Chains A and B, each alone.
Chain A
């Protein structure tokens, strides 16, 4: 895996290395966090598994958005397709993960080929709208699948079976699945790292930079863009298959356009066109989503206590009224995102120092 990490002599390299170590060792220190009363082991592992899986999806989106300049607003559709492939097969008694996963990946690649072949002929807003439209089309197909729960979705009774290698119950199941998700994320990061630095990646990034010139150099740019689109779709389908296993549930909501929007936010927040950016973005986005309301309540309680001690409780309203403000936590999240976009144009990644050139 040489070259995946920036050298450890730089802050950027140290931070990513530390992050990967923290994530990789979570199953081993989670019991300790639990014992210390900080966070329940089961909750921590479940939440972070979700983070890892959506990070895989965000990394795949970054391949086309960050490295290829293609603003796909329908990327969650592959999460949906990957998830439905696993869910529908399980529903019909096919639990073999060695069948489910390749099919989920293959179908997602095919769907990306179809969507890409049609929408990559357009640019700008038209491309955004077309990818959005195709994703919404599939969303409504999901809603219409009455046999598989329609709008309500479908519970998956048994997870994918990989020759009986993964534990199927209790904490072991959760730990094993966390480790699987982590390993898949690292492999996907490594794959994308190789891709974007290989000739293919140079062709893709060059096309983002100046497509006319790339054509004048002899690059059939459409083919490289389409290939990247298909690879991204396939990886995202893999994320979908993992997510269905994680939640043991599929529903059209997996591919709702707001999910696609979340993925874009993760990529932009973390840093477009940086390898680890989408991982930072997924962590920041999902943890804020999870903890921002209680964090806000904590801050509001503290503020209320302080101010009422000075001005007297009657003057500033009840604590309950204050705490209701925390319901507007999404405004706080939005504000944070706007600040990042305005003041850290390269996303969270750019806070860790300058990248190696190119």
Chain B
């Protein structure tokens, strides 16, 4: 069995009286695509926010590659190889699409205390940036401001930025949300190609995509992991069927 890359130990996050993450334990193995599914409001995004350092858990522990990162700031986690995409698109709107991904590459290459050479003339930033846009199918929009991209294209850029960080663990929060069918298919295709090369924790509502891509699935309901297993195990799981899959089919 592959080694554990990310380990979450009895994580708790409360918003007032609401327990958004309820003693959640989870592990992601190196090389796997681990899907996280659950109904709206289950606490998926809240979990990603804690894993990526944007929210502090009330208690519990997050270990990445054997290192306790629970208290580490977001930027430091990225430098360890953990990057995320946002469910609600969060790109640099007044920069071009290429600038957006080139900035990811710039951060990846180390500190930015370089004060003289023009960053936009730097091939070591622009070339990987173009490659990242190419990968999600945005190469033709490279020089357009991110704000002028269509909603679907902004989603593609969103994911391209997370990938351009070249993380060892990629946290994807509903990458396909708001994409048209064509863009969605392209994204599934991309994720399939990345499978095996990159470890991923994937949140997705599209069950076909999840069952096609995931090595393992964790089902989250009311902040708790009610089941973890292979797609076949999850499909057969009685608790999951009543708590979630049944709902999803009728809804």
Interface residues, chain A, with chain B CB atoms under 8 Å away: 3, 194-195, 197-203, 205-206, 209-210, 212-221, 224, 227, 357-358
**Which of these, A200, A209, A221, contacts B113 with CB under 8 Å?**
A200
Say whether A214 contacts B103, CB under 8 Å.
yes
Minimum C-beta distance from B112 to chain A (A) = 4
Say whether A202 contacts B112, CB under 8 Å.
yes
Minimum C-beta distance from B211 to chain A (A) = 28
> Which single residue of chain A is at the shortest CB-CB distance from B77?
A218
Q: Does B95 contact A (CB under 8 A)?
A: yes
Say whether A221 contacts B54, CB under 8 Å.
no
Say whether B118 contacts A217, CB under 8 Å.
no
Say whether A209 contacts B74, CB under 8 Å.
no
Q: Does B130 contact A (CB under 8 A)?
A: no
Q: Which residues of chain B from 85 to 117 have any CB-CB distance to chain A below 8 Å in the complex?
A: 86, 90-96, 99, 102-104, 106-108, 112-117
| Given the contacts A198-B114, A198-B119, A358-B99, A218 and B92 also touching, CB distance less than 8 Å | no
A contact residues around B70 at 8 Å (CB): none
| Given the contacts A197-B120, A220-B73, A213 and B161 also touching, CB distance less than 8 Å | yes
Q: Which residues of chain B from 165 to 220 have any CB-CB distance to chain A below 8 Å in the complex?
A: 165
**Which of these, B79, B90, B120, B162, contacts A210 with CB under 8 Å?**
B90
How many residues on the B side are at the interface (Cβ–Cβ under 8 A)? 41
Say whether B116 contacts A198, CB under 8 Å.
yes
Other CB < 8 Å A-B pairs besides A206-B95, A216-B54, 5 of them?
Answer: A202-B99, A214-B103, A217-B83, A218-B75, A219-B107
A contact residues around B116 at 8 Å (CB): 194, 198
Q: Is the interface of A mostly helix, strand, loop or mixed?
A: helix
B contact residues around A216 at 8 Å (CB): 52, 54, 74, 78, 83-84, 86, 90, 162
B contact residues around A219 at 8 Å (CB): 75, 103, 107, 112
Say whether A202 contacts B103, CB under 8 Å.
yes
**Which of these, B104, B107, B145, contacts A357 with CB under 8 Å?**
B145
Say whether A202 contacts B93, CB under 8 Å.
no
| Given the contacts A202-B106, A209-B92, A358-B96, A220 and B76 also touching, CB distance less than 8 Å | yes
Minimum C-beta distance from A350 to chain B (A) = 14
Say whether A199 contacts B112, CB under 8 Å.
yes
B contact residues around A213 at 8 Å (CB): 86, 90-92, 161
A contact residues around B120 at 8 Å (CB): 197, 202, 358
A contact residues around B118 at 8 Å (CB): 3, 194, 197-198
Minimum C-beta distance from A302 to chain B (A) = 45
Q: Which of A216, A218, A220, A221 has the most CB of B within 10 A?
A: A218
**Which of these, A195, A203, A212, A218, contacts B54 with CB under 8 Å?**
A212
Residue contacts A-B, CB under 8 angstroms, 14 given: A197-B118, A197-B119, A198-B115, A199-B113, A202-B112, A203-B112, A213-B86, A213-B92, A216-B54, A216-B84, A216-B162, A219-B103, A357-B96, A358-B95
Say whether B95 contacts A215, CB under 8 Å.
no
Bitwise, B38-57 to A at CB < 8 A (1) or not (0) is 00000000000000111000
| Given the contacts A213-B90, A218-B78, A199 and B95 also touching, CB distance less than 8 Å | no
> Which single residue of chain A is at the shortest CB-CB distance from B53?
A215
**Which of these, A199, A212, A218, A357, contacts B108 with CB under 8 Å?**
A218
B contact residues around A217 at 8 Å (CB): 78, 83, 103-104, 107, 161, 165
